[in-house]
Each structure stands twice: as C-alpha cells, then as structure tokens.
Structure 1
Amino acid sequence: MRVLKFHKLAVSLLHYKEKNTDMAVSSTENVLIASAKQGDARAFELLAAKYKRLLEWYVKQLNLPVSEKDDFIQEGLIGLLKAVRTYDSKSSSFVTYASICIKSSIISAVRKFNKQYNTLVPYDEGSYDNVPDVSGSPESDFIDRESVEILYNKIFSVLSEYELTVFEMYLSDMSYADMSINLKRDIKSVGNAVFRIKKKLKETIKPNR
C-alpha cells in the first residue's frame, strides 16, 4: 500500500498541468501541504513550483563549480521533501520551515563535500537569513518541473524495497540511530543505504540536465 501510494503520486505528476493558483493565503497553502502529505501529486507540484526559487537561491549563494550544482540542487530538493512531509502548521509558517529544511540539507551537503574532497566551498550562514520572496517564481536557472517529476518517477524504478523504506524515514527526518532500531539494521547499513539512494537519484537527474 505504501509503495502504491507513492507510485500513484509519481505517475500523476506526469499528467499534471500547471494551474494559476493563489498561493498567498496561508490557509490555502496549508491545505496543499496536507494534501501533498497524503500523496496528492498536484498539491506537491504546486508547492514545488512555488518554492523552487527559494531552493535555487540557496544554491546560488555557494561558489560552486557548474559540475557540482546538480548534487546540491538534489540536496535542496530532499530538504523541500522533508519540509512537506514533516511540517506542523502550529509551529511556524511553511516558508520559514521550508527555508530551514532546505538550508539545513544544503549546508550539510557542503560540509560533507568539503570533508570528502579536502577542499573548502565557502558559505556564510548569515547570508541565508534574507531569503527571497517566493510569491512569484521566474523561469528556473537550475531546476524545472520536469526535474521534480523525474525525481519522483524514478524513485520506484531505481530504489530497492529496503531503500524506499529508508528514504521515507529519511524524509520524515528520522535519525540514523532511530532508523537502525526500527529496521533492525546497524547504523552502517542505514548510512550505506542513504548513500546509495542519493547516488541513484543523482544519476537519474543528471542526464536530463
């Protein structure tokens, strides 16, 4: 049932036609978020279309080689997915929460990149405080609706059942330790699964860029 729900979401994305929707009213946005959590493809697509500008803005703050931008865009997408999956309207506005999730994912990726390649991609967390207005999103520089569709659609053809389970837990912001307990696997197994997931998602997106 779980895989079927997400597969239905991915297939529906391919048939989505963009609509002009007033995203300014927070109550309307909360309805979209609630629907997206339940697997409504159109609701998530509307949210992704709106917040992609925010995602791109964060990546633009980094002095990255063009060849590396895809990886960080992917991390930002995962951050946005986390935001949609874990948002609680009682805590803060979604734009604030989405900003935190995207920022956290990208900064985490920068730190891992610097450590892995023994290099320094500079970033200033303070410069991330003045986020752009996301009420209107211009043509995308790095990511478009097709990329989001590809990401969702390919998940079900490239990830194993175990990886799908790990990915869902990862999007729910579950720690590696908690995933390890729930799955009855050691932390190394969970970490390796997350690494494989990101590698596979990267390979599905990159050829289309």
Structure 2
Amino acid sequence: MSDEELIRLAQSGDATATETLLQRYKNAVKSVARSFFLEGGETEDLIQEGMCGLYTAVQNFRPGKMSFKNFAFLCIYRRIVSAVRSATRQKHDPLNKSVSLTDNFTEERIISDLDPEEMLIGNESRKELMESMKTYLSDGEMECIRLYIEGHSLTEIASRTGRSEKSADNAVQRAKKKIAKKLEEER
C-alpha cells in the first residue's frame, strides 16, 4: 500500500495503518536523531521525539504541496530540533539545579550510608545555613521555614505559629525565595 493510501486510512482512524506508517519511517527517525546531541538525554529520547513528529506528520499531512516522505522528514526534524533547543535553554536551570530544603536538612534523611565524617559535615552545614538564614529572614519566616524543614504540614505550621494556612504558606514561599536568591548570590 502507498503512503498516501495508508495516510488516508490512518486519518480516518485506522490504527493499523498508523502503526504501519510509524514502522515504515522508524529508521528515518533514527537516522535524523543520531545526528543530534541532547544534553542530559540519550539518543532514545530524541528518537521518541522524532516518533512524535512522525505521528504529527501522519495526522496533519495534506496531499498536494509535497510528498509525505518530505513532509514526514520536515516534521521529524523540527520536533527533534525543538527538543534539543528546549534542553539547552537556561530558563529551567533554577529547577534543574535547585537544592531541596527538605531532602538535605530533615532528620528523616537516611544516614545509615554516611560515615561519621560526612554526618558531622552535614550537621555543621545545616547549622551554618540555619544561622545565616536568621540574617535575611524575618522571625516569622524563620519559624515557618524551620517547621517546614522539619517536615510539618502547612496545617501544623499554621497551628503552631498562630497563623492562617495561607499566611503560613506565604511565609514558607517567601523564605524559599529568599534562600534561593541568597544561594544563587553565593555561587
């Protein structure tokens, strides 16, 4: 069956026709994907993006202007380039390079795999951070973030500090932003 016949069937809901087209062009997707590098990812991630581009080509192809093969390559290429560009943008760096307040400083942290030296350094770092936070957080923010780091819920923080849940959440969020800003300045 020709590509155009399969596309017509696929666009009318025939899953077998769609699968046939995806299999037919899978090697083309792999070929395009291998020519790119995705920071923090693997070639398989790019192949997956390319397959999404191919699926889009199957769904959106309109005969007339170009052949399906050329349209498919264009969609595959654009999808992979878009994925590579997204991965190299720095707008997500704060999320990708952030330090979790709860993971690093709670008492629930599993310490069985740490040697005594690492435990001592961790305790000293926690104490230093808590002391430095006192210089740029208000007393209310300090109290709320301390309870948050200890693992208390917003309801518990509100109850213990005599605030509303919204006020406790605002204090925690302000404290997080101030801490993140301070950590960024120190880098």
TM-score norm. by structure 2 comes to 0.45
TM-score norm. by structure 1 comes to 0.41
Larger RCO: Structure 1 or Structure 2 (Cα < 8 Å, ≥ 6 residues apart)? 1
